[in-house]
Amino acid sequence: MDHLADVKKFAKKPLNEAAFAGMSKAYALVMGKADTRYVACSDAAELERVRENFLKKKLGLKTADLDAAIKSTCDHMKADKTKSRLTFYYLLAEHYGKLDLFVKK
């Protein structure tokens, strides 16, 4: 899968290449495993992991609209049966203005 093309297909703003590169590096191990490479929007436990481990722990978010943002991202990517975790995380970070967390300084 061409992850860069996938992110470009769904991103709402021009691609932040530095953030994409940082995310690619940070999640390389996750993306290398078939059972963790994709986000299953139909799995409540999976969506809870995205909320707790990515949005709260990684991005440091505590707002009440986290589940709504996850649902919105699922809806935005509904055309793809396999939702790349890297793309999914990029879109959520973009939504919350947190892409700079992945830019190496």
Tens-place pLDDT, residues 70-96: 999 999 999 988 899 999 999 999 999
Residue 53: both structure tokens together = 């481990």
Q: 97 φ, ψ to 5°?
A: 65, 35
**Quick one: DSSP state of residue 37?**
S
pLDDT digits (tens, 9 = 90+) for 9-44: 999 888 999 999 999 999 999 888 988 999 999 999
Return the SS3 of 1.
coil
Give DSSP secondary structure letters for 64-79. Answer: TTHHHHHHHHHHHTTT
Q: What angle do CA 81, 53, 82 make, to 5 degrees?
A: 10
